[in-house]
């Protein structure tokens, strides 16, 4: 005897995979569980591969591919918003939106194919008008799904926010305030932070990775110089840059030079810190005014970070999309656009619609290669 436990039999199709499944429940603990597993393997079982249960559920038709991916996203979700969004995808909300687009494509394809069998001029003119209206509607619906997916992809990957500015302006103090913990060392000495420090926080359900870095300046000291190099590397990878300066000093020539050197195209939030101190200058109107010491203005800063990252929505309206989904949606859009130019040559029109449908079908797994399936399920944890 190894343990006392419970055996549950799930007859097909009422199991996670849709197949008959036996589940053994024990008291837990790695040694006992290992012994139970070893006994099962001795009796002829083998260990499951990563994601094998979910893969079987997909092959049995219990889940489509977007739902199967949502299982992994639910397990890996880095914020409560991401988890809720993954659960909605698991319940099929994202798949239903893709399915609605496919249904529109199928209908238009059927009408076009039917028309190709009667190549008369009146039919042609009628069909052109109808097809153009339908295609316009489809294009709009596709744009909406794409916008909701692109925004939702932020929930999956999180927003990488890098705090930068000159030394001593209060970057580390801000990180501590935003995380609610004394994570970074704060001193009155300029050049305190050297290593880049990453902390995960959640803003309105969105996962955000805050990176505190060394203050930017020319330094003769080797450790600080290496810190500044690290800071530059972090800045190059940022989704959003938070540029901190002292409200009382304002944006001087040195700050402006640093701002000019930031990578173009990365959104930048300017933060005037230490507003609790008597201000001798009025800071730029576009700056968020905060005090890391008193906490004033931090809600405005949190909101500014989300807006700069392109997050405008509420979490309920987005789809937790993966890069793969976004690429498929872009391909579908390109084919729909190509079809819009082919309303003289209906064979080509129909072909573009077919390709658009195939691209969308990849999202839910109607058309997928074994390679892609292997890649997707290999990223699951074992036993899921
Ligand atoms: N009065 C006031 N002091 C602040 C505020 N924020 C930071 N300080 C002080 O400013 C000094 C520098 O703060 P840090 O957070 O270490 O600044 P930093 O930008 O991380 O500095 P480096 O790591 O050296 O680049 C400390 O003495 C803080 O207590 C603020 O909002 N108000
Ligand atoms: Mg610091």
Each residue's pLDDT tens digit, 2-24: 999 999 999 999 999 999 999 99
In whole angstroms, what is the distance from residue 89 CA to residue 96 CA? Answer: 9
Instruction: Characterize 35-66 residue by residue with b for buried, 16 or more Cβ atoms within 10 angstroms of its Cβ, and e for exposed.
Output: eeeeeeeeeeeeeeebbbbbbbbbeeebbbbb
273 alpha carbon – ligand 2 mean position (Å): 13
185 alpha carbon – ligand 2 mean position (Å): 7
Using most ligand atoms within 8 A of CB, pick from 217, 243, 271, 292 the residue to mutate for ligand 1: 292
Q: For 316-335, what is the mean pLDDT?
A: 93
Contacts 24+ apart (CB under 8 A), 196-204: 196/230, 196/231, 196/233, 196/234, 197/172, 199/175, 200/78, 200/158, 202/79, 202/80, 202/81, 203/302, 203/305, 203/306, 204/81, 204/302, 204/306, 204/315
- pLDDT(264) > 90: yes
Q: Whose CA is nearest to atom 30 of ligand 1?
A: 274
Residues with CB under 6 A from ligand 1: 167-173, 186-188, 190-193, 214-215, 273-274, 276-277, 291-293
* Closest ligand 1 atom, residue 273 Cα: 31
Each residue's pLDDT tens digit, 74-125: 998 888 889 999 999 999 999 999 999 999 999 999 888 888 777 666 666 6
pLDDT at 68: 94
pLDDT at 283: 54
Enter the DSSP assignment of 65.
Answer: H
Global pTM exceeds 0.75: yes
Q: For 204-230, what is the mean pLDDT?
A: 94
pLDDT at 281: 59
Q: Whose CA is nearest to atom 6 of ligand 1?
A: 170
In whole angstroms, what is the distance from residue 241 CA to residue 285 CA? Answer: 18
- Ligand 2 (single-atom ion) residues, CB below 5 Å: 171-172, 192-193
- pLDDT(280) > 60: no
- pLDDT(285) > 70: no
Structure tokens belonging to residue 2: 């190894």
Q: For 53-76, what is the mean pLDDT?
A: 93
How high does pLDDT run on average in the chain? Answer: 91
């Amino acid at each position: 005897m190894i343990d006392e436990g419970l055996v549950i039999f799930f007859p097909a199709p009422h199991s996670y995979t849709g197949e008959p499944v036996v589940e053994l429940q024990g008291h837990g603990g790695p040694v006992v569980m290992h012994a139970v597993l070893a006994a099962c393997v001795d009796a002829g079982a083998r260990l499951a591969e990563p994601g094998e249960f979910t893969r079987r559920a997909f092959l049995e038709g219990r889940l489509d591919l977007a739902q199967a991916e949502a299982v992994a996203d639910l397990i890996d979700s880095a914020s409560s918003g991401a988890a809720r969004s993954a659960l909605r995808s698991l319940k099929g909300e994202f798949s239903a939106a893709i399915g609605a687009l496919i249904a529109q494509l199928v209908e238009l394809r059927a009408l076009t194919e039917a028309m190709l069998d009667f190549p008369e001029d009146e039919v042609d003119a009628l069909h052109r008008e109808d097809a153009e209206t339908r295609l316009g509607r489809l294009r709009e619906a596709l744009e909406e799904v794409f916008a909701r997916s692109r925004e939702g992809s932020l929930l999956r990957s999180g927003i990488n926010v890098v705090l930068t500015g000159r030394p001593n302006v209060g970057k580390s103090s801000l990180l501590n305030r935003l995380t609610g913990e004394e994570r970074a060392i704060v001193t009155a000495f300029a050049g305190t932070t050297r290593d880049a420090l990453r902390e995960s926080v959640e803003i309105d359900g969105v996962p955000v990775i805050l990176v505190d870095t060394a203050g930017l300046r020319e330094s003769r000291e080797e450790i600080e110089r290496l810190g500044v190099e690290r800071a530059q590397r972090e800045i190059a990878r940022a989704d959003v840059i938070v540029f901190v300066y002292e409200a009382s000093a304002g944006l001087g020539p040195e700050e402006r030079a640093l701002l000019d050197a930031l990578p173009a195209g990365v959104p930048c939030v300017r933060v005037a810190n230490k507003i609790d101190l008597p201000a001798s200058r009025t800071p730029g109107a576009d700056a968020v005014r905060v005090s890391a010491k008193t906490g004033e203005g931090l809600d405005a800063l949190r909101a500014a970070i989300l807006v700069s990252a392109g997050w405008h929505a509420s979490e309920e309206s987005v789809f937790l999309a993966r890069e793969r989904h976004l690429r498929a949606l872009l391909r579908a859009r390109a084919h729909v656009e190509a079809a819009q130019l082919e309303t003289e040559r209906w064979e080509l029109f129909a072909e573009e619609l077919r390709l658009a449908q195939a691209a969308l079908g990849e999202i839910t797994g109607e058309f997928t290669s074994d390679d892609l399936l292997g890649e997707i399920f290999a990223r699951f944890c074992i036993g899921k």
